[in-house]
Copies of this chain bind each other. A is one copy, B any other.
Amino acid sequence: MAKNVYDFTEGGREMAGLLGGKGAGLAEMTKMGLPVPPGFTVTTEACRHYLRTGTEPGGLRREIEKHLAALEHTAGRRLGDVHEPLLLSVRSGGRNSMPGMMETVLDIGLTDATVRGLAETARQERFAYDSYRRLLQMYGTTVLGLDRGLFDGALHRMKADRGLTDDAGLDAADLTGLVEVYKALIRSATGADFPQDPREQLYEAIRAVFRSWNSERARLYRRREHIPDDLGTAVNIQMMVFGNYGPDSGTGVAFTRDPATGQRGVYGDYLSGAQGEDVVSGVRNAVPLTELRHLDPASYRALGDFTGLLETHYRDLCDIEFTIERGRLWLLQTRVGKRTAEAAFRIAAQLVDEGLIDEDEALARVTGEQLGRLLFPRFAATGDRPPLARGIPASPGAATGAAVFDSAEAVRRAAAGEKVVLVRRETTPDDLPGMVAAQAVLTSRGGKTSHAAVVARGMGKVCVCGAEQLKVEPALRRFTTSEGTVITEGSVISVDGTNGTVHVGALPLEDSPVAAYFEHGTGDGDLVKAVDRILRRADEVRRMEVRANADTPQDAARARRFGAQGIGLCRTEHMFLGERRRLVEAMILARTDPERRAALDALLPLQRADFTGILEAMDGLPVTIRLLDPPLHEFLPDRTELTAALAAAEARGETPDPHATALLAAVNRMHEANPMLGLRGVRLALVAPGLIAMQVRAIAEAVAERHAAGGDPRPEIMVPLVASELELHLVKTEIKRVLAEVAAETGAVTGCPIGTMIELPRAALTAGRIAEEAEFFSYGTNDLTQTVWGFSRDDVEAAFFPAYLEKGIFDTSPFETLDTQGVGRMIEIATAEGRAVRPDLETGVCGEHGGDPASVRFFHHAGLDYVSCSPFRVPVARLEAARASVMVIQAAPAGRFSGGVPGQG
């Protein structure tokens, strides 16, 4: 028969699956000899049995009784003892942290009889009845399923009767009365009395915790976090200890290092004469933990010893909950503590210095996401100036600008050169133009999956959302803070999307010291040293190369400074914007071959200069150049605007401008219902070959120039949007023809690898055939995501991604983190089948996922040769490629999209 209950003395940290995270931590501390209130854990397996069958596993009660007897023995008190009753806490705790999602019942064991014993033992009648009142309420809501409002209402009425606003004003007599009211409430709502049998309380509480695994909010939470539904929760039954006995008691949280900066030393908060829930509810202000040195020097010393032991034991920053009951220190929970990005790097480097971890483990202790945050600009120290408001940090970075309250105003002011911050209650697709125009977006409603948050992240704009203290009144063109400060339109505010704060005025912006270090090689602070040390190790251990997406010599040079080992995507369409748009327009409008050729001839030297500059900046490293990809009509004016302008001119009786008329005819002829899926990429190359012939010639001539200058140019030509091998074959024939032509003219060797993007499902599904033509594959994960999901990125992020994230259909946009089940599977198929045909096939990624941490880890495990990302993300990719190399694949909480992203979930 399975063992369903483990005493804290029996378990350990490695048993989190069976005992939950909390139970495993309590057992580990018990094993270490630390002062943990005695108790035991009912396993997740017992919970699963209960949820599956509706009944407890056979023998569970017998086991619990056995452990309870041991607990009573250790505690020296008995459950239900009317003189000195043992009280119990019954707390949930699954494998994964699910804060606040499941239930807890404290003070189990109080009855009409034992409450008097407690009052006497504690010599505090008020404390005893306050505890009983709390039990009644928790039991009523958690076990009996009553509405919390019933209890709150009664409490509120009592305070009103006494003319009080604060619970603390209620005296023992009031609370005794409240206990009677609560008992009556339970009786009338359920038809039965609150159970006076402490064992009934205990068993019902355990079952209620079991059931809470399947509460609506817990299911929703798991769906969003992609925690499997079939794990179940453990139940921790533990002797209650009380920090609220009086001034010699208290409760607090301790960190073994400063979680904000990584500084060594004991950090945390302490609240004397209080219970844990009081800290959380913020009824009173806690003091810095260092104060405890004066309040209770013995406990402070002990706490220092214990935290030191725990940190050495866990070899990491720990966060510890503790309670002091009448001068005696108890540890109630420990876990590896959360920390800021900055602290993470400092601590990892420190732990290596201290010999607690090796350099590879240091890689596991920091994340690309943290490094990414360190690269954004931030506000210079704000001093102690309190923020105007705090909201949810939804899209990182820092920005200042004039507050504006609608999209039109944002566009108007931005067009006039002013920096603006768009402030809305919440955003809708109508606000898109304003979001584009603004430096930052601030909303008073909505969370990380709100429209504002999702769209701002997609655009890389700073965003703070859900700043609920703010009253936003667009009609009055102002917002008001909870302190009553009024900010009117045009006032400058500062928004910090990394920490979620909003300040009045323009805070001075400073570059990230880490970014400055990459950019200029300067800076020698602790943080820069820690980052540098960890990235050096990363470069030693990673298998995948990291390249950058860069379209200009400037970007190429920056990418190199950030550690890029080449360019994985050089987009040539960006070279046709601005002044050159006129030439492209001329090419499109050309009515004869000579006109067309003249336009192309004018573009050639410009394009050649582009390539020469980029090849020079990346001398000796590969530069993957993608031939023109977008539909040509993208270079023409907007159809609706042009039509409306001509219609208006006609209505005014004006003679139509012949150029505009010709343009409109071309725009109409080239109009596409779904340009994403239209005449672009290789299709354009096949239907209108002159353009790519010009591009290839520009590349070949640039190579010849660089060779002549003694350089080492290494271009690779990439054909976009291929769906079948024959497309690539035909275009490759044309490319080779032009290369040979230029070679003959210049005498230079201008050959270079020719490959393709794999960005359509069909390309992935026929990769074996395509590999016969392609020397390399570059996965275009943006378009592949669009076609695999049937998502037009331009449309869906604003239209329904917030709802999809809210419903848990995905937990991150598949445009941010690769969908491994769909898009990832395509990549795995293509890589396997491509390599089967061409074993030395080079494979890489040039979509934006190349700089996303979880995606980079997937690409490592998929066996790709490199990732390519924006220059700014190169360090992130270097780090994550290394982490993927050194980290053991965890039995991960099923990854994103419920798929199997290996590595950290």
Which A residues form the contact surface with B (CB < 8 A)? 223, 429-430, 639-641, 643-652, 669, 672-679, 683, 686-687, 721, 723-724, 726-727, 730, 759-762, 765-766, 769, 783, 786-792, 794-796, 799-800, 803-804, 807-810, 819, 821-823, 825-826, 897-898
Does B821 contact A678, Cβ atoms closer than 8 Å? no
Q: Which B residues are CB-close (under 8 A) to A672?
A: 792, 794-795, 799
Our pick among B669, B803, B809, B826 for the contact of A765 (Cβ within 8 Å) is B826
- Distance in Å from the Cβ of A647 to the closest Cβ of chain B? 4
Nearest 10 pairs between A and B by C-beta? Answer: A674-B792, A677-B792, A762-B822, A651-B651, A644-B647, A648-B651, A673-B794, A678-B795, A761-B761, A647-B648
Question: Given A647-B647, A761-B822, 11 other A-B contacts at CB below 8 A?
Answer: A430-B669, A643-B643, A644-B647, A676-B790, A678-B792, A679-B795, A683-B800, A686-B807, A726-B809, A761-B788, A762-B790
Ordered by A's residue number, 26 sampled pairs between the chains whose C-beta atoms are within 8 Å are: A429-B669, A643-B643, A644-B647, A648-B651, A672-B792, A672-B794, A673-B675, A673-B676, A673-B792, A674-B675, A674-B677, A676-B676, A677-B796, A679-B800, A686-B803, A686-B804, A686-B809, A723-B789, A723-B822, A724-B809, A759-B790, A761-B761, A761-B788, A761-B789, A761-B790, A765-B825
Q: Which B residues are CB-close (under 8 A) to A686?
A: 800, 803-804, 807, 809
- Distance in Å from the Cβ of A832 to the closest Cβ of chain B? 14
Known: A649-B651, A650-B648. A765 touches B822 (CB 8 A): yes
In the complex, residue of chain B having the shortest beta-carbon distance to the beta carbon of A723? B789
A800 to B684, CA, bound (A): 9
Does B674 contact A676, Cβ atoms closer than 8 Å? yes
- Distance in Å from the Cβ of A790 to the closest Cβ of chain B? 4
Does B679 contact A223, Cβ atoms closer than 8 Å? no
Does A897 contact B795, Cβ atoms closer than 8 Å? no
A62 to B787, CA, bound (A): 60
Does A760 contact B789, Cβ atoms closer than 8 Å? yes
A644 to B644, CA, bound (A): 4
- Distance in Å from the Cβ of A905 to the closest Cβ of chain B? 18
- Distance in Å from the Cβ of A233 to the closest Cβ of chain B? 22
| Of listed A643, A645, A794, residue having the most chain B CB within 10 A | A643
Q: Which B residues are CB-close (under 8 A) to A821?
A: 762, 765-766
In the complex, residue of chain B having the shortest beta-carbon distance to the beta carbon of A638? B640
Q: Which B residues are CB-close (under 8 A) to A652?
A: 651-652
Q: Which B residues are CB-close (under 8 A) to A646?
A: 644
Known: A647-B645, A761-B788, A821-B766. A726 touches B795 (CB 8 A): no
Known: A648-B648, A674-B794. A762 touches B783 (CB 8 A): no
Known: A639-B640, A647-B647, A789-B760. A822 touches B676 (CB 8 A): no
Does A760 contact B649, Cβ atoms closer than 8 Å? no
Does A796 contact B679, Cβ atoms closer than 8 Å? yes
Known: A787-B761, A788-B765. A726 touches B808 (CB 8 A): yes
A652 to B654, CA, bound (A): 12
A370 to B232, CA, bound (A): 62
Q: Which B residues are CB-close (under 8 A) to A803?
A: 686-687
Q: Which B residues are CB-close (under 8 A) to A807?
A: 686, 726, 730
Does B223 contact A760, Cβ atoms closer than 8 Å? no
Q: Which B residues are CB-close (under 8 A) to A676?
A: 673-674, 676-677, 790, 792
In the complex, residue of chain B having the shortest beta-carbon distance to the beta carbon of A824? B765
In the complex, residue of chain B having the shortest beta-carbon distance to the beta carbon of A766? B821
Does A789 contact B804, Cβ atoms closer than 8 Å? no
A651 to B647, CA, bound (A): 9
Known: A674-B674, A794-B673. A822 touches B766 (CB 8 A): yes
- Distance in Å from the Cβ of A364 to the closest Cβ of chain B? 30
Known: A726-B808, A765-B788. A673 touches B822 (CB 8 A): no
Q: Which B residues are CB-close (under 8 A) to A761?
A: 761, 787-790, 822, 826
A592 to B769, CA, bound (A): 56
A804 to B676, CA, bound (A): 18
- Distance in Å from the Cβ of A737 to the closest Cβ of chain B? 15
- Distance in Å from the Cβ of A72 to the closest Cβ of chain B? 47
Q: Which B residues are CB-close (under 8 A) to A759?
A: 790
Q: Which B residues are CB-close (under 8 A) to A721?
A: 790
Q: Which B residues are CB-close (under 8 A) to A810?
A: 724
In the complex, residue of chain B having the shortest beta-carbon distance to the beta carbon of A819? B762
